[in-house]
Structure 1
């Protein structure tokens, strides 16, 4: 009877030993296990072993010759031997290799008789039932041993594919345990979680079970054992199964701190290490049945991937909030990076198609969630309509939050570009349409660049509205300078944002800052310098109008003291801008005051009159100017004391 799945019989040379010649004249194949004792020299032949060998020979004749008539007595004796072997194996460690050969004979015998039964020669069909019963008992023992070997996995999360020597050729070539021990004793071949000799044993058991018609039982044992092993790996990596409903109920802090990083680590390790290991193992254990190996691997990996994808979709479907953007993008990047690594692992079958569909869906949902979260920044800016101005015209918290958020978000620039390009809903609009935002009409902007420009425009409008909350126009200018400078510095120090906003935008913002500076100078120091004008101080016969001169000095003193008192409480946190402001004020005020003082101080009477009207020397003014914008109101009276 022909069957390509039938292993080569190790005892097929037994017929050659039926002559009266000793063992030394018989040729034993290299991979054939040592012959039974019955084939040793005739002078030392064990009668019982000789009888057993004859039984094996008769059974081999039956299963290899369709015309052979099976004798019921021989079959009964053979089955008695098999049952005895099973009983011994169940009690103690017996010769498992010989037992596998016996199981092969049982399976062949059963298929031979069932396929072409000869009831007139067997005498009764009950022998068929007995053969089936013995085979079932033998398979039950093999199934239990298969389970035990599988459950003795030593897989850890530190295992890598680099230390796995894929020696499947020797397995599929039918090499036995003895050959391994003889030929590869110096090797330390390791499969995922198992020594090579254990994998060889599992390979032989799987082969026998499938050949004997117990494919479903064999596959079920393998699936359960390896599924449990994979679940243990996931737990060691820190990832535990969590439903979509539970994700909605779990605080984001917990998800962000523990679960999401574990998901990323687990997905990366599974895609790069554990799935490859699992495929190697399946192909080694089921080397004679590639389609079974592929199916088992696909189903095992599918269960893990679906579990991981369900978590990703749960995160994407959770309530939107700004702080979720970055972990959402991390998960999106992980999927994008790992999917190509998994493509080569899965055969092109229904399972592979399903996983690709589920992965694409998870990517889409994560991408859409990221877009929605980022676009919600617009709503946050619009909703910030507080009517309380920031003390001292300092940088507004909205500005700090928005720019720090954008700077961090733009560290994901390439990912956000991809997300907005592939997952944004343009409602028919061209995603690269200029949208009237670009500084250069010839530039085509990506959807993310356009969105970033919108956020910046909204922030500008919001800050302009907040600047009007200040009654002092000069302070309003300081507020706009502070916030504008903060924005510009954040953009200049972030290569990603700077690249997206462009040099033209930065130059325009710098120009706006200079204009705010001019507005401040005009509102504050131009009025002060008006006190130092020459108009009304007509010199007649070498004299000036002293009452007017005295009033000029009094006005200057009072106005400068008020400016100092007020603006020393104003805040300019950027040291460079603070220095630039002080230098520009000094450059305007000190020369004008020094000239006015040098020209008109002589017209005041020395002594008490001079002390009364000339309160400041130019050096004093410089000192007081250097105290501006510190955020601490200072009194000149206390200073002089």
Structure 2
């Protein structure tokens, strides 16, 4: 990895050999005895040489004056004072003098390699670099609160100006950001960024980029590390996540979702802006420097979803995985923009890897949920043909998934439902999008509901009474349709889906009604308006009373939880039964009115039927018991003619 870079016009990378001791301000450079410069194709005239030599010597003299003044080894006041804080104009002259000194050294090496001035220049350059190293360190350290993410991210990489822009000092009025006058804090922050860039430019072009980068990385990495720690991002192992309780894991995920927003948009973005600005003189340096500062914490941040994916698999965890996927997906363009260099490719790859693993885990969790439905082996019928617990939990789960329809469509697009499997078209039809395609999330959620319906069909077989099994199917399908209608599922499955399934509900209800009340209807003569003989009338009244009492006693423990479906069933039964019985009653009651024990023969008046029917479908009896032992209400003798 290259940490220093010198422009082609100076070629000073080969100028020095280096001797270092620990610390930021201990660089020492001496001229290499083998140093040589390329010979120009057209040798200069002696007059030109003398003219250039005098100019270079003047550069050295000017540099010597100001550089020695700020020599760290001097006993003067300047040893304890910051050059850039003391006098900004003089600081600018200092960096200019280094540039002139570098030009002079370049010239002398080419033309007068044995000149004593070359040794002096070398010594002056070492003194200047030590001073700039110290200034660089002091500015970074003293202004860490002004170079924080909130301050820096408000500026662009070109938001603060370099000393090279104009001759005069930078004033508050001159510094603008996005066309608006900046605050004092923003001004100081911008000046600090400008100073750092000026020093970095000078040191890099002088061949001291490595020293400059070492200081920068040490200070800025600690700031990034501290920033992530304040956001609650710690380094965790997979085993720690595995042992973590659900409540703690949920809190950790919630914190991470907040942290990634601040880390990407503030912390990493600001560090990128600052690094790009300070090291704009070298693409190689700024890219490698930014990577070294952020790599550990960025990779640790973006690998967190990987750890969660490996955690214990439960159906409920899918919602946390979706939230993580949504966050990584939302921030991926910004992540790729911030970590856009070849040097930071490992960070981009980590975020992409997390996204991919989350997607696979989400699809896997859906498949496991479907498998859980299919493998359910409970055989105990639900009391009264009511809503099966699996129906409630499955539909709550599926309807919650519909709240994430947009992101689920993106995830499931690469995971189509199995093909060549027998689908019941009436269960599976779903709306198409404008381009005629079927949204992936619609297909998958419809498929899950189909799996549930197929399992309910099998569970209905556990009822010994066929009419109760149809009531069970009507109840559960009604619940499913209502759940679809009152959640985002209605937009994913469409009105046609609802209409088709409501017809299924009505079909199940009709089957129940036909099977549950057939004996009652068949106890009456086919033509209820026909007058029967006394014996036949007695027999019909007796059969009807027995059949109705049996049906009533059995069905008082049955349940229809949907109010509309319950009322519709009662109305339907009453419309078919009461008028028919009323007609038979009115026609034949006179034949047996004088019979003894009339109350045993005619136990129900037509008005009584409606009262009894109103008691149905509330599940009045407890499981395992029956109302068969409970006496029926006595008939309203006032309705019987005398």
TM-score, with length taken from structure 1:
0.75
Greater share of residues in helix: 1
Residue 180 (structure 1) aligns with: 171
Residue 576 (structure 2) aligns with: 588
1:417/1:446 contact within 8 Å kept:
yes
Question: SS state of the match for residue 559, structure 2?
Answer: coil
Q: Which has the higher contact order (CA 8 A, sep 6+)?
A: 2
1:434/1:444 contact within 8 Å kept:
no
Q: Distance in 2 between matches of 1:77 and 1:297?
A: 33
Q: Distance in 2 between matches of 1:277 and 1:165?
A: 9
1:601/1:610 contact within 8 Å kept:
no
Counterparts in 2 of 1:34-433, with a 5 A limit?
65-66=55-56, 79=68, 82-83=71-72, 88-89=77-78, 91=80, 95-97=86-88, 98=90, 101-102=93-94, 105=97, 109=101, 112=104, 116=108, 122=116, 131=124, 134-135=127-128, 137-153=130-146, 155=148, 161=153, 163-164=154-155, 168=159, 170-171=161-162, 173-174=164-165, 178-181=169-172, 183=174, 187-188=181-182, 195-256=189-250, 258-289=251-282, 291-300=284-293, 302-347=295-340, 349-351=341-343, 353-422=345-414, 424=415
Residue 610 (structure 2) aligns with: 622
Q: Distance in 1 between matches of 2:600 and 2:53?
A: 132
2:303/2:351 contact within 8 Å kept:
no
Over aligned residues, Cα RMSD in angstroms?
4.3
Q: Distance in 1 between matches of 2:53 and 2:193?
A: 29
TM-score, with length taken from structure 2:
0.75
Q: Distance in 1 between matches of 2:617 and 2:53?
A: 104
Equivalences, count: 569
In structure 2, the CA distance between the partners of 1:236 and 1:248, relative to structure 1 (3 Å rule), is same
Residue 490 (structure 1) aligns with: 483
Report the Cα offset of residue 563 of structure 1.
2.9
| More displaced 10-residue stretch of structure 1: 592-601 or 294-303 | 294-303
Gaps of 5+ in 1: 7-60
2:67/2:128 contact within 8 Å kept:
no
1:191/1:199 contact within 8 Å kept:
no
Q: Distance in 2 between matches of 1:192 and 1:304?
A: 27
1:176/1:200 contact within 8 Å kept:
no
1:147/1:222 contact within 8 Å kept:
yes
1:322/1:376 contact within 8 Å kept:
yes
Q: Distance in 1 between matches of 2:398 and 2:10?
A: 64
Q: Distance in 1 between matches of 2:398 and 2:171?
A: 62
Residue 27 (structure 2) aligns with: none
Residue 41 (structure 1) aligns with: none
1:166/1:191 contact within 8 Å kept:
no
Residue 544 (structure 1) aligns with: 534
Q: Distance in 1 between matches of 2:490 and 2:265?
A: 35
In structure 2, the CA distance between the partners of 1:384 and 1:81, relative to structure 1 (3 Å rule), is closer
Q: Distance in 2 between matches of 1:580 and 1:342?
A: 58
Report the Cα offset of residue 132 of structure 1.
6.5
Residue 517 (structure 2) aligns with: 525
Residue 28 (structure 2) aligns with: none
Gaps of 5+ in 2: 1-6, 12-50, 622-626, 636-642
1:150/1:226 contact within 8 Å kept:
no
Q: Distance in 1 between matches of 2:309 and 2:186?
A: 34
Question: SS state of the match for residue 478, structure 2?
Answer: helix
| Pair 1:458-2:447 in alignment | no
Q: Distance in 2 between matches of 1:386 and 1:488?
A: 24
